[in-house]
Amino acid sequence: MPSTLVAVVDDHEVVREGVRLVSMTSLADVKLVGSSDSVSTLLDQLGRDPENPALTAQGAKRIECDVVLLDLSLADKSRPANNVERLRSAGMKVLIFSIGENAGLIREALRAGALGLVRKSDPLEHAIEEARAIADGKPVITKELAAAIDGDVEFSRAALSPRERETLRLYASGFAQVQVARRMGIKQSAVKTNIDRIREKYARIGRPAPTKIDLRIRAIEDGLVDPEDDVTSAEKKL
């Protein structure tokens, strides 16, 4: 199994050094490929154009990265949403790495596409393990994330129809479209149409879900799927 390529953005050198040391001894097969006090510097380290992170900087060697551990409160006063968006534009997933006390910043990063949160008060080994989980397509939903969502009166929920909600519940639990169709007694083409409409509705309220992982996160956020649910547990509930 290939190593998970991880980077960290934190303005405390002791934190960055701690992540480096833990990644070297981690059992989760994680390799640290970048470490910086700002997103701009990290993008430069990884050979990306800071002005257009989707591109490789001219004359630079492009270094791949799967997941970035991102502190929300950086000394350069950059906004979490902007940092998350730039990292995602560079093709990297983002795991919030913070003290987790500012629900507003957590919500901002979540809206921008961050996939989970780990607290700095937890052992660094936990952060490394969760980074591996994020890379494997498993969103890290914590009590802090759930509280940040629940406490946000402006966190809009998509106006899904009952059939769309059921489609999303099954699809986000891990079933393939053909399996969803069989369980709902409808054509696979109808399932695809439902999923397209679901994506349109989430995009309309500023909560885009272009991938199946994103749809699972939206379903968890809106209480349609339990974070622990997978295909096995979903089948037991049917």
d(CA 94, CA 110): 10
d(CA 50, CA 90): 9
The neighbouring-strand residues paired with 200 are none
Q: How many CB atoms lie within 10 A of CB 149?
A: 19
Query: Residue 89 is which amino acid?
Result: S
Structural tokens at position 69 = 């551990």
pLDDT tens digits, one per residue of 153-166: 556 677 888 899 99
* CA dihedral for 107, 109, 114, 116, sign (positive or negative): negative
pLDDT tens digits, one per residue of 60-86: 899 999 999 999 889 999 999 999 999
Query: CB under 8 Å to 143, separation ≥6 — which residues?
Result: none
pLDDT tens digits, one per residue of 168-226: 999 999 999 999 999 999 999 999 999 999 999 888 777 888 889 889 888 888 888 87
Indicate the pTM of the whole model. 0.66
d(CA 100, CA 26): 24
Portion of the chain with pLDDT greater than 70, in percent: 85
Domain annotation for the chain: domains and CATH numbers: 4-151 (3.40.50.2300), 162-222 (1.10.10.10)
Across 8-21, b (16+ Cβ under 10 Å) vs e yields bbbeeeebbebbee
Residue 120: pLDDT band with limits 50, 70, 90: confident
The half-sphere exposure of 34 on its side-chain side, counting CA atoms within 13 A, is 30
Q: What are phi and psi of 88, to 5 degrees?
A: -65, -35
How high is the pLDDT of residue 151?
63
